[in-house]
DNA sequence: TTTTGAGTTGTTCGA
DNA sequence: GTCGAACAACTCAAA
């Protein structure tokens, strides 16, 4: 019987796993997961995310074991060492072929090309699949084959190209003989303990599916109305699972459409809006695949790279610690620091604050988010930051500058979210809580690091000047 | 090729 | 308090 090796990466599940499904057709399957601690460190992957990955690999190992599949856990220093490690594993198993799902990010696809080369050299076939998005990057294009750079036409095309078979998730393969005992990841990798965030972030595909089902059953209908209020549990919070692949976007779309009688049209506002958010994720994956320069620190709008972005380390650290003196900004940053996750509305508020009120380089904010987020994905994080900084595809106009006080009044009207994250402000009445400096301040809480009105004027002036310079050539 | 319509998520100011 | 205009034109996508 043929022997196939499946390499698991950002797809830590057994259901709707094209590579696993493909490998199991008439062959004996073994699985491998490669720990790359140095790569994770260099990439600035968050401790929350690393720990969630480790725990999810353990769950995966158990699931695979029930299917009679053994999961080998190997370690390589970084991506440079990856091809050799995978080859060794394949050869020791006598594998005929290697199966895996593709990743778009630049380092990952370089690594994968190197692996494919090494394998072919050794006479081992390589078969790749796509599952990070529902529609593979590069597949949703304009009639002339070029990529979309504006979301709305992309979404229209995506919806027009939608076919049920894009959405129907694949089953887990049938069990293949006796159950091997599951292997486990180490308790610590580098400085990271596997139990970090254990209470917050439930690992594995079963937890992900439970979360999806409860969201579809009880919250998706009110998603549109409640998604912007960080004090409410209005969003799905499935992003950590999507990031590490304990659930697939197809499974999410399938569940959303099943809740609507299997149809796409005529869904409720809640379902439509949530599906739209999943399409945003697909949009940014397409964008990153079409413009690899985005993964190398370049703005989509090239001319914005020459704006005088700041690098003030002290200002950056105040923002990072959540000590800017602007309550909603600080609440968002502290939510990120303590949980690894931040509500979408606050990602916009804190990102806009960094790029437009502090006029710090948006790349510094992007990198910090990646280093902290449990759900960090290069494509979506970069897309979101460039949107906020007005440097990206289909970005917000440069003069659209969120005012964190106004945003707090609109989206945290009771002040409860700020109170929950910023204990220094917990005793302030709602009418004082968003601008404590106007009411004598609060013990232990800093005064605002910028005057919002002045900062806004300054940013508008810089952009106007930048635009004039760009026109001059 | 030209034309036309449209573009995630805001804020401020003055009537 | 509410409302419309200004912010700034520009680029994209499709007919």
3-state secondary structure A191-222: CEECCCCCCCCCCHHHHHHHHHHHHHHHHHHH
Is pLDDT at A472 greater than 60 in this prediction?
Answer: no
Residue length, chain A?
473
Q: What is the mean pLDDT of the segment spanning A187-194?
A: 94
A451 touches strand B (CB under 7 A): no
**Secondary structure (3-state) at A284:** helix
A280 touches strand B (CB under 7 A): yes
The CA–C1' separation of A168 and C2, in angstroms, is 49
**Strand order, beta sheet including A97-101:** A71-75, A27-35, A2-8, A97-101, A125-129
The CA–C1' separation of A429 and C3, in angstroms, is 30
The strand C neighbours among A residues 387-446, by Cβ under 7 Å, are: 397, 399
**Secondary structure (3-state) at A258:** helix
Residues contacting A410, CB < 8 A, separation 6+ = none
Inter-residue contact A223 to A234 (CB < 8 Å): yes
- The set of catalytic residues of A is 277, 280, 309, 344, 362, 385
What's the DSSP call for residue A7?
A: E
Please state whether beta strands A192-193 and A188-189 pair in parallel, antiparallel, or not at all (unpaired). antiparallel
Residues A389-415 pLDDT 10s: 999 987 788 888 999 999 999 999 999
Give the pLDDT confidence score for residue A32 in this predicted structure: 98
Does pTM top 0.85 for this prediction?
Answer: yes
Q: Which residues of A33-46 are buried (b: 16+ CB within 10 A; e: fewer)?
A: bbbbbbbbeebebb
Is pLDDT at A473 greater than 50 in this prediction?
Answer: no
Nucleotide nearest to A273 (CA to C1'): B8
> What is the pLDDT of chain A when averaged over all its residues?
93
The CA–C1' separation of A397 and B10, in angstroms, is 10
- H-type alpha helices, A99-183: 106-121, 151-161, 164-167
Nucleotide nearest to A411 (CA to C1'): B9
The strand B neighbours among A residues 191-230, by Cβ under 7 Å, are: 228
Q: What does the alpha-carbon distance between residue A77 and residue A86 come to, in Å, rounded to a whole number?
A: 12
Q: How confident is the model at residue A340 (pLDDT cuts 50, 70, 90)?
A: very high
């Amino acid at each position: 019987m043929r022997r196939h090796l499946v390499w698991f990466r950002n797809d830590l599940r057994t259901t709707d796993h094209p590579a696993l499904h493909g490998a199991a057709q008439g062959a004996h399957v073994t699985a491998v997961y490669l720990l790359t601690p140095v790569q994770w460190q260099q990439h600035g992957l968050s401790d929350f995310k690393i720990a969630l990955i480790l725990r999810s690999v353990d769950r995966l190992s158990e699931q695979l074991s029930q299917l009679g599949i053994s999961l080998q856990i190997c370690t390589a220093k970084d991506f440079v060492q990856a091809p050799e490690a995978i080859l060794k594993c394949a050869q020791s198993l006598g594998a005929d072929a290697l199966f895996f799902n593709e990743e778009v990010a630049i380092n990952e696809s370089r690594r994968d090309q190197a692996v494919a080369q090494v394998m072919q050299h050794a006479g081992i076939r390589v078969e790749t699949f796509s599952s990070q998005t529902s529609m593979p990057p590069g597949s949703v294009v304009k009639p002339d084959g070029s990529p979309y750079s504006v979301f709305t036409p992309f979404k229209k095309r995506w919806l027009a190209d939608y076919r049920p078979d894009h959405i129907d998730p694949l089953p887990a393969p049938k069990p293949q003989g006796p159950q091997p005992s599951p292997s486990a990841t180490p308790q610590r990798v580098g400085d990271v303990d596997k139990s970090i965030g254990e209470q917050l972030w439930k690992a594995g595909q079963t937890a992900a599916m439970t979360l999806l089902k409860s969201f579809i059953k009880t919250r998706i209908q009110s998603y549109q109305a409640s998604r912007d209020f960080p004090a409410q549990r209005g969003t799905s919070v499935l992003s950590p699972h999507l990031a590490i692949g304990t659930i697939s976007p197809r499974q999410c779309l399938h569940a959303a459409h099943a809740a609507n009688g299997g149809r796409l049209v005529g869904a409720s506002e809640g379902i439509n809006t949530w599906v739209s958010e999943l399409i945003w994720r697909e949009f940014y994956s397409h964008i990153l695949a079409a413009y690899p320069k985005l993964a190398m620190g370049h703005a989509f709008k090239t001319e914005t790279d020459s704006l005088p972005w700041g690098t003030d380390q002290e200002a950056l650290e105040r923002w990072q610690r959540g000590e800017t003196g602007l309550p909603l900004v600080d609440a968002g940053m502290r939510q990120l620091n303590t949980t690894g996750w931040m509500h979408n509305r606050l990602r916009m508020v804190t990102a806009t604050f960094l790029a437009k009120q502090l006029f710090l380089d948006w790349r510094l904010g992007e990198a910090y988010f990646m280093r902290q987020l449990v759900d960090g994905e290069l494509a979506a994080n970069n897309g979101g930051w460039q949107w906020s900084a007005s440097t990206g595809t289909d970005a917000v106009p440069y003069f659209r500058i969120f005012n964190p006080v106004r945003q707090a009044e609109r989206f945290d009207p009771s002040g409860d979210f700020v109170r929950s994250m910023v204990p220094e402000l917990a005793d302030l009445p709602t009418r004082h809580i968003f601008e404590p400096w106007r009411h004598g301040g609060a013990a232990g809480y800093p005064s605002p690091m910028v005057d919002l009105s002045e900062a806004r004027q300054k940013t508008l002036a810089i952009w106007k000047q930048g635009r004039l310079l760009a026109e001059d050539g």
